[in-house]
A and B are shown apart, each in its own frame.
Chain A
Amino acid sequence: MKHVEVLIIGAGPAGLSAADVLLEAGAEVALIDRSDRPGGQLTKQTHMFFGSQEHYASKRGIEILHVLYDKIKDHPRLHMFSETTVAGLYPDRVVACVSGQRYFTIQADIIIVATGASEKSLPFENNDLPGVYAAGAVQTLMNVYGVKPGDKVLMVGSGNIGLIVAYQLMQAGVKVPVLVEAAKTISGYHVHASKIRRLGVDIRMRTSIKRALGTDHVEGAQIWQLDARWQGIAGTEETIEVDTICLAVGLSPLTELLQQLGAEVIYINELGGHVPRLNEKFETTVEGVYACGDVAGIEEASSAMIAGKIAGLEAALKQGYALEDAQARQAALHTSLKTLRSGPHGEKIRKGHARLGART
Chain B
Amino acid sequence: MMTQANVVIIGGGISGASIAYHLAEAGVKDIVVLEKHYMTYGATGRCGAGVRQQWGTRMNCLLAKKSVAFFEKAQEILAYDGDIEFKQEGYLIVASDEAEAKTFAAHVALQNSLGIPARVCTKEEARAIVPHLNTDAIHSATFCPTDGHLNPFTMTDAFFKAAKRLGVHYYDHTAVTDIRRQNGQIEGVMTQHGFIKTNTVVNAAGGWAKDIGAMVGLDIPVYSRNHEILVTEPVEKMQGPMVISFSKNIYCQQTPHGAFIMGRGDKDAPKGLDMGSSWQFLEAMAKTVSDLLPPVGELRVIRQWGGLYNMSPDHQPIISASRDVPGFYIACGFSGHGFMLAPMTGLLIREMILGQTPSMPLEALSLERFEGQEIEELETSVV
Contact = CB atoms under 8 A, between A and B. Distances in A.
Interface stretch (B117-125, B128-136, B271-279): B271-279
B198 interface: no
B365 interface: no
A336 interface: no
B383 interface: no
A90 B279 CA distance: 7
Given A87-B301, A88-B304, A96 B282 contact: yes
Contacts of A90: 276-279
Contacts of A262: 276
B276 A88 contact: no
Nearest to B277: A260
B277 A94 contact: no
A91 interface: yes
A352 B350 CA distance: 50
A91 B286 CA distance: 20
A296 to B, nearest CB: 22
18 contacts: A87-B301, A88-B277, A88-B279, A88-B282, A88-B304, A90-B276, A90-B277, A90-B278, A90-B279, A91-B276, A94-B279, A96-B279, A96-B282, A103-B286, A105-B279, A260-B277, A260-B304, A262-B276
Contacts of A87: 301
Interface in A23-81: none
Interface string A251-270: 00000000010100000000
A87 B276 CA distance: 15
Main secondary structure of the interface of B (DSSP, over half): mixed
A94 B278 CA distance: 9
Given A87-B301, A90-B277, A103-B286, 15 more contacts: A88-B277, A88-B279, A88-B282, A88-B304, A90-B276, A90-B278, A90-B279, A91-B276, A94-B279, A96-B279, A96-B282, A105-B279, A260-B277, A260-B304, A262-B276
Interface string B287-325: 000000000000001001000000000000000000000
A54 to B, nearest CB: 41
Contacts of A96: 279, 282
Closest 4 CB pairs of A and B: A96-B279, A90-B279, A94-B279, A105-B279
Contacts of A94: 279
A91 B278 CA distance: 8
Interface string A235-279: 000000000000000000000000010100000000000000000
Is the interface on chain B under 10, 10 to 19, 20 to 34, or 35 or more residues? under 10
Contacts of B286: 103
Contacts of B276: 90-91, 262
A186 B276 CA distance: 44
A53 B125 CA distance: 74
Contacts of B277: 88, 90, 260
B15 to A, nearest CB: 26
A76 B4 CA distance: 70
Interface in A77-102: 87-88, 90-91, 94, 96
Contacts of B278: 90
Nearest to B286: A103
- Which of B277, B279, B304 has the most chain A CB within a 10 Å cutoff? B279
Contacts of B279: 88, 90, 94, 96, 105
Contacts of B301: 87
Interface in A154-172: none
Contacts of A103: 286
A240 B276 CA distance: 50
A256 to B, nearest CB: 9
A177 to B, nearest CB: 38
A87 B304 CA distance: 10
A91 B282 CA distance: 14
A94 B304 CA distance: 15
B269 to A, nearest CB: 13
B238 to A, nearest CB: 21
A103 B282 CA distance: 11
A125 B279 CA distance: 40
Contacts of B282: 88, 96
- Which of A88, A94, A260 has the most chain B CB within a 10 Å cutoff? A88
Contacts of A105: 279
A241 to B, nearest CB: 36
A87 B277 CA distance: 12
B357 to A, nearest CB: 48
Contacts of A91: 276
Interface in B4-36: none
A215 B276 CA distance: 44
Contacts of A88: 277, 279, 282, 304
Nearest to A96: B279
A97 to B, nearest CB: 10
A88 B282 CA distance: 9
Nearest to A101: B298
Interface in B173-230: none
A230 B276 CA distance: 40
A356 to B, nearest CB: 21
B229 to A, nearest CB: 13
Nearest to B304: A88
Nearest to A94: B279
A262 B304 CA distance: 13
A90 B301 CA distance: 16
B336 to A, nearest CB: 23
Nearest to A95: B279
Interface string B61-73: 0000000000000
Interface in B325-364: none
A191 to B, nearest CB: 43
A105 B279 CA distance: 8
A105 B283 CA distance: 10
Interface in A85-136: 87-88, 90-91, 94, 96, 103, 105
A239 B301 CA distance: 42
A21 B304 CA distance: 34
A7 to B, nearest CB: 14
Interface string B49-63: 000000000000000
A262 B275 CA distance: 10
A87 B300 CA distance: 10
A205 to B, nearest CB: 39
A96 B278 CA distance: 10
A91 B276 CA distance: 8
